[in-house]
A and B are shown apart, each in its own frame.
Chain A
Amino acid sequence: MIPEIALFSLILGTLCAILGAGIPLFGIATKQPHLSRYSWPLSYGAFVAVTISICLLAYSFTVDDFSVTYIAQHSNSHLPVFFKIAAVWGGHEGSLLFWVFSLSLWSAAIAFVNRNHNQAFISRVLIVLSLLTAAFGLFTLLGSNPFARLFPVAMQGRDLHPMLQDVGLIFHPPLLYLGYVGFSGAFAFAVAALTMPDINIPWPQWSRAWTLAAWIMLTGGIALGSWWAYYELGWGGWWFWDPVENASLLPWLTGTALLHSLIASEKRQALINWSLLLSIFTFSLSLLGTFVVRSGILTSVHAFAVDPTRGLVLLVILAICVVVPLTLFVLQSGKIKPLQLRSIASREVLFLMLNSLLVVTTLSVLLGTFYPMIFQVFKLTSISVGAPFFNAVFVPLALLCFVLMCIAPFIHWQKTNFDGLNVKLILVWVTAVSVGSITSYFFNQTLSVFVLLVLILCAGIVMSALFAGVRIRHLAMTVAHIGVAITAVGILLVSYNSTEISAKMSPGVSVELDDLTVTYIDTEWVVAANFTAEQAVIEVVDVNGEPVQLKPQKRHYPVRVMNMSEPAIYSTWLRDIYITMGEKIDSNSYAVRIQNRAFINWLWAGSIMMMFGGILAIGQRYAK
């Protein structure tokens, strides 16, 4: 009964979305502008209906309703409760429902916050959002129904994939989807603006808050995904340039460019074309990412196991979302105010350069991700494009962005005030070089010049931000940019300073790694709700003498018949001690892999700082 109510609620929500787009559109066509006010109640209605739908799905999971196919495929009665709820978005159908939910959520939020702004304009924004909600709602109902019944009813579920039974799963996909979908807000603002080019509407100002919110979520989603991969997969890696990962990075890159471009558009009516195009393409890249994951078009460890026909629907939606706004853009291109510059040393030019760099990076990653597919299509011998290519391309471009970040705090709008700037710049660079060199000396074990240069650059970012004067209105920028620098230092040092050792260990055996002494104490047996495991008790002592115990496991999941190796991690600011159990060599010894992952936690800390900078930026907007 409950699943049917949920299905009905979803239908209702989709209907609200269809009407929410249809009625105002009809009003525009027949010159009845008063019809536009229906956008608001219908957006709220869609939101309530879809929320009820997804909540009832979650409820059905918690009561083990295995008469629903989706629940039978992704859950199990022994599964802990919070994983049952997380299983809602653990498969294709449920995650699509989450997309519809996210769309309706953002629509309702935008409707509410902007309720007192230009009604004709905001109504158009809501039309676009309603169309998207309706499209995804229909797709879910007709092609990926999470409420389809299973007959005969399953006695027990197939269990959630063991790799997904983790706290990271509870938050990673929702954050990611909220981020992807959040950019639909900027998209809708841009498209609406393109339909009303003659009226002077401050749409960049309104769009910016939503873009920031989406960007924060996407940053969090990506960082969480990396963190999850890091502690779950067992080899200490956190980014693999896998097609699905790249698919999430692409909208983040253009989204970052959009963020900055909107500032220029809001404050100086500059870079309007960039803001429009970036709004269109960021959301389109989100759709592309969704398409890539679900269609099977690219080989990836992440991909949902779905068939190509579902991918086709997403492809069509994507095509419409690119073609229609771009056609509008071409139509209106003559009406956009051209860029007016007073000096090259101005923030407008800086943002132009940043936008260019980020777009080139996006296109390069896109090229590398799809290149093997091109070969496949033309039946050439297959090639692989992996980390070596992407790192070679991404790193120099990122470093160029860092150079821009170093000078950014000193460059003003229109024209930079050069008084006293020389002195400040010299101070900044002297401090940066000193800090960089000192840190390099202490932490750079490989004595690499590259490491030294990057450390100086990151120190430069921090010093510039601080020396330019910590003004309240620059606080968001300062925090976010320092966050980037910290993340970069973390990435740099974890790549260059990490060490590892693999050894055959049994109770009583000790090995040494750098300043650590690692001793294997004992092997225990663990029985949990849905798995059993062999657990090693390992003691690690560093030079300071404080021993810590780590307990890596080799888990066996009976329902899906899978084995997983669960690493044990001890975290400090300077490094993670990361231990995994490998093969069983003989009756009481295992191959144990001990890693010293240097500065890895700076990565996560830096990401959180970036997100916090974004939150501050939203706060600053509303403080005015």
Chain B
Amino acid sequence: MLNNKFKLLLPSLLGLLFVAAMMFALTSQEGQVTPSALVGKPIPAFTASSLSATEQFVRNKQLGSNELLDNSIFQTNKSYTLLNVWASWCAVCQSEHDFLMQLAVKDGMRIVGLNYRDARADANRVLSSLGNPYVATIFDPDGEIALDMGVMATPETYLLDNKGIVLFRYSGALDETVWQHYFKPFMSLLTDK
């Protein structure tokens, strides 16, 4: 008796389960952030010129100490560093620029820029007209450094701790909502140290 009733209800139960699973899948898709493969690891070693260096000096290897950059830029006595991947041709990057300026100037965030597949002149022009939120900008015209980091598109922002270990990566433009939702939780953890 019970066995028959169960068999009768089985399709309905399975159907309900299926619908619930699909609905859950649909709703869980919103707001997905692809985690970086580097989380918990340092940024891969690199050497590059800073954006502000002149091309001729680069070729002649006549660079000042603050124009030759490598991983040590991420070692800091501040609790955290942001690494922002951007380019002058990327319109979405320009939409987040004001927010980056606010972070750098008002909140005192230490932001390092990674200029991706760009031309020096164009990138410098953007910084001089919109403002420069970066303490330093790594110049990566061939995208080699970005490739090593697993950068998928621009803009992307990485949150690093004071030793240069990657804590989090966000793909997309930064704004207040994103900042509060994704980055702020890390901040409170860090400042407690």
Contacts and interface: CB of A to CB of B under 8 A. Distances in A.
Given A376-B32, A377-B28, A381-B35, A323 B12 contact: yes
Contacts of A295: 26
Contacts of B26: 295-297, 308, 311-312
A330 B13 CA distance: 13
Interface in B1-51: 7-8, 10-12, 14-16, 18-19, 21-30, 32, 34-35
B25 A377 contact: yes
A608 B112 CA distance: 60
A266 B56 CA distance: 84
Interface stretch (A144-152, A220-228, A314-322): A314-322
B28 A319 contact: no
B29 A327 contact: no
Interface in A97-123: none
A618 interface: no
B25 A322 contact: no
A376 B29 contact: yes
Given A295-B26, A376-B28, A319 B8 contact: no
Nearest to A333: B7
A332 B35 CA distance: 51
Nearest to B7: A330
Given A319-B18, A381-B35, A327 B25 contact: no
A376 B26 CA distance: 10
B25 A312 contact: no
Contacts of B15: 319-320, 322-323, 326
A331 interface: yes
B8 A315 contact: no
A329 B8 CA distance: 9
A128 to B, nearest CB: 17
A319 B19 contact: yes
Interface in A258-314: 291, 295-297, 308, 311-312
Contacts of A296: 26, 29
Contacts of B23: 312, 315
A417 interface: no
A382 interface: yes
Nearest to B30: A308
Contacts of A329: 11
Interface string A317-347: 0011011001101110000000000000000
Nearest to B28: A377
Contacts, number: 54
In the complex, which range does the number of interface residues on chain A fall in? Answer: 20 to 34
A75 to B, nearest CB: 27
Contacts of B19: 315-316, 319
Nearest to A370: B25
A377 B11 contact: no
Given A322-B11, A330-B8, A297 B35 contact: no
Nearest to B12: A323
Nearest to B13: A323
Contact of B10 (A312, A319, A330, A381): A330
A587 to B, nearest CB: 20
A399 interface: no
A323 B11 contact: yes
A308 B11 contact: no
Interface residues of B, number: 23
Interface string B60-74: 000000000000000
Contact of A327 (B12, B21, B24, B30): B12
Nearest to B37: A381
A295 B34 CA distance: 20
A373 interface: yes
Q: Decide if the interface of chain A is mainly helix, strand, loop or mixed.
A: helix
Nearest to A326: B11
A314 to B, nearest CB: 10
Nearest to A296: B29
Interface in A361-383: 373, 376-377, 379, 381-382
A376 B19 CA distance: 17
B153 to A, nearest CB: 15
A127 to B, nearest CB: 20
A379 B28 CA distance: 9
Nearest to A299: B29
B178 to A, nearest CB: 19
A578 to B, nearest CB: 30
A590 B3 CA distance: 71
B103 to A, nearest CB: 28
Given A323-B12, A330-B11, A331-B8, A308 B34 contact: no
Nearest to B15: A323
Contacts of B7: 330
A326 B10 CA distance: 9
Max chain B CB contacts within 10 Å: which of A308, A376, A382?
Answer: A308
A323 B27 CA distance: 23
Contacts of A331: 8
Nearest to A379: B28
A308 B8 contact: no
Given A327-B12, A330-B11, A308 B27 contact: yes
A342 to B, nearest CB: 31
A377 B32 contact: no
A131 to B, nearest CB: 17
A326 B7 CA distance: 10
Contacts of A330: 7-8, 10-11
Interface in B113-139: none
Nearest to B17: A319
Contact of B22 (A315, A323, A326, A376): A315
Contacts of B32: 376
B167 to A, nearest CB: 17
A297 B22 contact: yes
A235 to B, nearest CB: 22
Contacts of B14: 323
A308 B24 CA distance: 11
A624 B86 CA distance: 72
B8 A297 contact: no
Contacts of A320: 15
Nearest to A382: B34
B25 A373 contact: yes
Nearest to B11: A326
A308 to B, nearest CB: 4
B64 to A, nearest CB: 36
Contacts of A373: 25
A331 B8 CA distance: 7
Interface of A: 291, 295-297, 308, 311-312, 315-316, 319-320, 322-323, 326-327, 329-331, 373, 376-377, 379, 381-382
Given A311-B26, A377-B28, 10 more contacts: A312-B26, A322-B15, A322-B18, A323-B12, A327-B12, A373-B25, A376-B25, A376-B28, A377-B24, A381-B35
5 residue pairs, one from A and one from B, having the closest CB atoms: A326-B11, A323-B15, A308-B26, A319-B15, A319-B19
15 contacts: A297-B25, A308-B26, A315-B19, A315-B22, A315-B23, A319-B16, A323-B15, A326-B11, A327-B12, A329-B11, A330-B7, A376-B28, A376-B29, A377-B24, A377-B28
Interface of B: 7-8, 10-12, 14-16, 18-19, 21-30, 32, 34-35
